[in-house]
Amino acid sequence: MTALFGLDLRGRSVLVAGGGAVAARRVRRFVSEGALVTVVAPQMHEDLERHALHGDVVLERRGVAPHDLDGAWFVLAATDDRELNDAIAGWAEDRQVWCIDASDASQGSARQAAMSKHGDLAIGVLSLDAPDPGRIRAVRDAIAAHLDAGEVDLRRRRPGAGRVILVGSGPGDPGLITVRGRQALSEADVVVTDRLGATELLVTVPYDVEVVNVGKSPDNHPVPQHEINRILVDRALAGKTVVRLKGGDPYVFGRGGEEVHACIEAGIDVEVVPGITSALAVPARAGIPVTQRGVATSLLVTTGHAGADAASVAAMAAGATVVILMGVTALPDIVDAALAGGCDPETPVAIVENGTTSRERITRGAMTDIVRICSETGVKPPAIIVVGEVARPGLLAGALAATPEP
């Protein structure tokens, strides 16, 4: 019977005998786990050469000898000589060092599992009988897909220290949350959620997960930021895994830095899972490239809460793309400031409401007309405002053909 153990190879010496494709593939795994890898072989695969250039491994260009195993915690015998691999496995056995024999797993004392990582969990699959790499990879991939789809309850069962995970849920479409973000929701005892982002994901959490809605709108802030911070800290101090589900990315006008600071001050473990910011994703989904060769090569992202700042006015006047979040209410002031600052009155503007969702709507107009058009059509937040030539209708239909190669 084969027993399964997890080995911590961080900072520990691993010897790889052999410099071919098999060795190169296995070395990637050892390097990613933080092992101190030495490869001994007369010739080296190009991937091993690249690892050496980056300082990830040490290469010894010669044949392997028994003394190479001295001080090693783990050995991989992956030469192209089956008898030599078996001999290396014997040297490892004599020294009581774990060894994988790439030629014949039955000759070694260890087997390498097909692994996948899911937050603070790792799934490993290996063959107990004759090695069958294709089979174990297929099983691993099927299990990994099941976990990453949020179909497994990953909450901790044993009491422990609480933690907070700030998750950027993306611009609204639940399919645009990251894999790690989806995993984090499966680990949550408590979800503290905004009104923006992929809130549809909340229907997938178990019924006994506490959901705290702290969503804000432009003229309604029912839960102030200091109270949100307190909720996160209190639940985590009670030993809960708390997911702070935020729209877009936590650090792009999401006050994520304040929430992380509160957790650090309280001595709480905190993880930040980046999200796809609506500043880039919403225009992209609406067919608006925020940069385009020959049209706009610079981009400024700003918030409309305080109206138009000097940097955004200068960028608009210079012809750069300016993306404004939370700017619908302040749009008249922004337009006045832009025109006074030298922005071309015919500069295209596109406003995308409820981007990436089934309720998405795009309103377009020139700088001088956009406020009137928004008033007539009833534009409301949440919306992303894009200012610049990239917002011109039909840009992509002709831009690529008209833009020469540099």
Residues taking part in catalysis: 194, 216
Q: Which two tokens stand for residue 36?
A: 């101190």
Radius of gyration (C-alpha) of the chain in whole angstroms: 28
Within 10 Å of residue 216's Cβ, how many Cβ atoms? 16
Within 10 Å of residue 192's Cβ, how many Cβ atoms? 23
274 closest CA partner among 258, 243, 251, 242: 251
Q: CA-to-CA distance for 182 and 167, rounded, in angstroms?
A: 9
Q: CA-to-CA distance for 114 and 126, rounded, in angstroms?
A: 6
Alpha helix (H) residue ranges in 120-238: 133-148, 179-187, 225-237
Provide the b/e sequence for 139-155 (b: ≥16 CB within 10 Å).
bbeebbeebbebeeebe
316 closest CA partner among 363, 269, 349, 280: 349
189 closest CA partner among 203, 169, 210, 168: 210
74 closest CA partner among 46, 43, 108: 108
Q: In what order do the strands lie in the sheet with 36-40?
A: 57-60, 36-40, 13-17, 74-77, 98-101
The secondary element (H helix, E strand) that includes residue 383 is: strand 383-387
Cβ–Cβ under 8 Å, residues 163 and 269: yes
Q: Which two tokens stand for residue 315?
A: 């960028």
